[in-house]
């Protein structure tokens, strides 16, 4: 019995290429006149997907039509699909087709026209091995389609345009580490499509030895280089130069410390892949973030509703997340988005810190409010991240802020920043270019919440097109680059990341892997300190840190209580070590807490690159606590003699004069010895 044959001309294309594509079908049996053919491109209609052709044969650029062996053509008409925005294409054969006689579905330039940059059909922009196209056939002509015939085409990476280096951001002196080099086309696909004699020179900026390696572009499109190390502490950048085009590519900066104390991990707690829908292919989504984006951690973030995430989908999501969790390589968390009333509860990303948890439905009584949810968990089991807090309709006014569970807040995602309003200087505001979309709501300002003594660290979200964000692509919503979160942890593990989040040891960027560190008198970002413990802070707050970007820095701003008090303007450099003494009398700048807590001030650092990318450090809080002379003596005793059993009568024996206190303490210490 003769079998039908399906093949493509050409059978291999390049991502983003424009041309004319032929899908040749040779039936194994006779097809009578009136037979229905229905062709499915499998495109979602996004800019990254296969371009949608026109059924109008007068369209001068991009058509779809049926071509017979005798040279005659037939037009398709569009068929709407319930589960997709894009159509399928149906055609009733105007003539019979004998077994063994090919018919061709042509997608691209009009018949007789040549394909060029302006005429033809554009291939999807992501590479895809054996990309499938379906052809449904109904010889009865009544729409009774069975299993499809399948065409397969390989979509490969295009011409080499970019080189990326994935390396750890924190390393230790003389400790070896590995880096992965990716050779990519303009769309971010791995590629080996480069001239045969292409050589890539690898070197380090800010290194004592003049290390220089030469690399070929491998067939795989990537290469792993083991056992690199730095001899001295400092900030380094790996540079790659294409000797053919003379283009230079720089990796994200690397900070080398004298000793290894902490690790800097990059990832997302809230975000979706632009290429791969996590609801349809969670495995592909996780693989994309792990391998192509080189994230160290990732949390699932589907919406809790049954329509968005069925029980079966949740089961599949959790299973894949657990399978992809790998020590020291890729840490996965299970999470979901929960949306309550705008203003009071807003939108939250709930992240489980342990596996094996069920999704919480808002329609269920036990999880119908955030307060009920928090009562069912401990802070070691769940972290709740307010997101998109300034988005009108999703805003969160922080009046019910829970400091135990809401340890961090999403200050930025691809739909804008919730740091503050446009009037207060927000350069990436939540806004729309037309009538459709969401505008900012000042009630959800992160800065406003900080002034009301809400204490949280900063994280960044990525791109999202689900749930509350599902209409943004179709509307006029302004879209920015997907953000990324930096977590400074004691170890690369789920427990280490969870601990760092609770300590607010993290910061946010608009997508670039910028290095940022700040401390005040030894107190690091995300932490709290009191003038009771460090009385000198009432007079001087010594602020120190460093910043390093992926391109030259434009400004490094120190922000106190929402106001910029110091701006550094580096000159054509991508790194800066900074120091600043805030010597304003603290009693004159304190903010009053709305509750019974003491007055306070808070600081954070905002770094802006010349390309517009931003990083925000988590804040540092200083509580203004007045102590009596005896309380101050006791505090100083505990610092000088931390192991002594200090008794009240010992304190009373000391001089009431602060200038003589140190001498008294020295005498006391001698007596103890």
Q: What is the pLDDT of residues 364-403, one digit of tens each?
A: 999 999 999 999 999 999 999 999 999 999 999 999 999 9
Do 416 and 440 contact (CB within 8 A), yes or no?
yes
Mind listing the pLDDT tens digit for each residue in 160-171? 999 999 999 999
Q: Which two tokens stand for residue 151?
A: 């065409």
Task: For residue range 260-299, list pLDDT tens digits in order.
Answer: 889 999 999 999 988 888 888 899 999 999 999 999 999 9
Q: Which of the residue ranges 6-10, 237-241, 333-337, 408-412 would you say has the lowest mean pLDDT?
A: 237-241
> Can you give the pLDDT at residue 409?
98
Query: Residue 355 pLDDT > 50, yes or no?
Result: yes
What pLDDT does 274 receive?
84
Percent of the chain with pLDDT over 70: 92
Here the tokens at position 170 are: 């924190």
* Joined tokens for residue 509: 């960027």
Name the pairing type of β-strands 248-250 and 162-166. Answer: unpaired
| Residue 12: strand pairing partners | 154
Q: Which residues pair with 73 in a beta bridge?
A: 67
Structure confidence at residue 202 as a pLDDT band (50, 70, 90): confident
161 Cβ contact partners less than 8 Å away, ≥ 6 residues apart: 184, 185, 186
pLDDT tens for residues 530-542? 999 999 999 999 9
DSSP 219: T
Does the pLDDT at position 670 exceed 70?
Answer: no
Determine which helix (DSSP H) or strand (DSSP E) holds 152, and give its type and residue range: strand 149-156
**pLDDT beyond 80 at 652:** no
More confident: 75 or 475: 75
What pLDDT score does 278 carry?
Answer: 87
Q: How far apart, in whole angstroms, are the C-alpha atoms of residue 568 and residue 612? A: 16
Q: How many CA atoms lie within 13 A of 162 on its CB side?
A: 11
Structure tokens at 107: 């997608």
- In this prediction, residue 52 carries a pLDDT of 96
Q: Cα dist. 291→177, 190, 655 in Å? A: 18, 11, 65
Backbone φ, ψ for residue 385 (5° rounding): -110, 110
Percentage of the chain modeled with pLDDT above 90: 80
pLDDT at position 672: 42
pLDDT level of residue 499 (50, 70, 90 thresholds) = very high
Q: What is the mean pLDDT of the chain?
A: 91
Q: Residue 83 gets which letter from DSSP?
A: T
168 within 8 A of 263, measured Cβ to Cβ? yes
In a 3-state reduction of DSSP, which class is residue 259? coil
When pLDDT is averaged across residues 313-339 and rounded to a whole number, the result is: 95
DSSP sequence for 532-572: TT-GGGGT-EEEEEEEE-SS-EEEEEEEETTEEEEEE--SS
**pLDDT(453) > 50:** yes
Q: What is the reported pLDDT for 629?
A: 65
Q: Which domains does the chain have, with CATH numbers?
A: 5-156 (2.60.40), 162-261 (2.60.40.1930), 265-623 (no CATH), 629-672 (no CATH)
- Between CA 2 and CA 24 the distance in angstroms is 16
Tens digits of residue pLDDT in 552-602: 999 999 999 999 999 999 998 999 999 999 999 999 999 999 999 999 999
Is residue 6's pLDDT more than 50?
yes
Tens of pLDDT, residues 91-134: 999 999 999 999 999 999 999 888 887 899 999 999 999 999 99
């Amino acid at each position: 019995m003769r079998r039908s044959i399906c093949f493509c001309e050409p059978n291999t294309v390049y991502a983003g290429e424009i041309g004319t594509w032929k899908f040749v079908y040779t039936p194994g049996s006779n097809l009578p006149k009136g037979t229905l053919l229905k062709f499915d491109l499998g495109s979602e209609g996004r800019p990254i997907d296969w371009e949608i052709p026109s059924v109008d044969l007068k369209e001068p650029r991009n058509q779809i039509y049926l071509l017979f062996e005798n040279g005659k053509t037939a037009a398709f008409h569009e068929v709407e699909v319930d589960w997709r925005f894009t159509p399928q294409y149906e055609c009733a054969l105007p003539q019979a087709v004998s077994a063994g006689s090919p018919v061709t579905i042509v997608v691209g330039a009009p018949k007789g026209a040549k394909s060029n940059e302006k005429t033809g059909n554009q291939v999807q922009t992501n590479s895809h091995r054996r990309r499938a196209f379906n052809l449904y056939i109904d010889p009865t002509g009544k729409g009774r389609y069975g299993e499809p015939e399948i065409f397969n085409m390989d979509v490969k990476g295009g011409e080499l345009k970019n080189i990326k280096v994935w390396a750890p951001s924190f390393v230790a002196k003389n400790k070896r580490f590995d880096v992965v080099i990716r050779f990519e086309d303009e769309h971010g696909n791995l590629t080996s499509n480069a001239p045969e004699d292409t050589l890539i020179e690898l070197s380090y900026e800010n290194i004592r030895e003049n290390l220089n390696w030469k690399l070929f572009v491998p067939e795989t499109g990537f290469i792993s280089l083991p056992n690199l190390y730095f001899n001295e502490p400092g900030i380094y950048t790996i540079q790659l130069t294409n000797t053919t085009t003379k283009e230079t590519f720089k990796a994200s900066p690397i900070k080398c410390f004298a000793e290894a104390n902490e690790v800097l991990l990059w990832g997302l707690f809230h975000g979706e892949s632009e290429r791969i829908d996590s609801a349809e292919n969670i495995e592909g989504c996780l693989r994309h973030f792990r391998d192509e984006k080189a994230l160290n951690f990732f949390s699932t973030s589907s919406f809790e509703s049954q329509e968005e995430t069925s029980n079966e989908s949740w089961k599949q999501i959790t299973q894949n997340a657990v399978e992809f969790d790998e020590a020291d390589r890729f840490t996965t968390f299970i999470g979901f988005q929960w949306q309550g009333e705008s203003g009071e509860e807003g939108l939250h990303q709930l992240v489980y810190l342990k596996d094996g948890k069920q999704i919480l439905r808002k329609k269920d009584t036990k999880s119908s409010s955030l307060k009920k949810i928090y009562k069912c968990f401990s802070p070691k089991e769940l972290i709740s991240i307010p997101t998109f807090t300034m988005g009108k309709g999703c805003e969160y006014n922080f009046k019910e802020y829970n400091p135990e569970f809401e340890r961090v807040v999403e200050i930025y995602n691809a739909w804008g920043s919730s740091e503050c309003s446009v009037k207060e200087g927000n350069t990436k505001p939540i806004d729309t270019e037309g009538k459709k979309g969401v505008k900012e709501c000042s009630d959800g300002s992160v800065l406003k919440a900080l002034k009301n003594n809400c204490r949280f660290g900063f994280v960044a979200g990525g791109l999202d097109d689900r749930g509350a964000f599902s209409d943004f692509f179709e509307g006029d919503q302004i879209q920015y680059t997907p953000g990324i979160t930096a977590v400074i942890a004691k170890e690369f593990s789920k427990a280490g990341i969870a601990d760092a989040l609770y300590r607010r040891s993290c910061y946010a960027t608009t997508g670039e892997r910028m290095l940022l560190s700040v401390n005040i008198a030894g107190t690091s970002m995300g932490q709290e300190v009191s003038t009771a413990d460090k009385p000198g802070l009432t007079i001087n707050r010594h602020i120190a840190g460093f910043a390093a970007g992926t391109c030259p820095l434009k400004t490094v701003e120190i922000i106190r209580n929402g106001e910029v008090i110091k701006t550094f303007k580096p000159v054509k450099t991508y790194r800066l070590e900074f120091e600043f003494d805030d010597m304003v009398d603290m009693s004159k700048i304190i903010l009053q807490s709305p509750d019974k807590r003491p007055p306070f001030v808070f600081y954070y650092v905002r770094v802006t690159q010349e390309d517009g990318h931003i990083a925000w450090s988590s804040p540092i809080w200083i509580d203004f606590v007045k102590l009596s002379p005896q309380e101050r003596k006791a505090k100083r005793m505990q610092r000088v003699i931390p192991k002594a059993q200090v008794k009240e009568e010992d304190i009373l024996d000391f001089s009431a004069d602060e200038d003589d206190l140190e001498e008294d303490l020295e005498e006391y210490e001698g007596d103890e010895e």
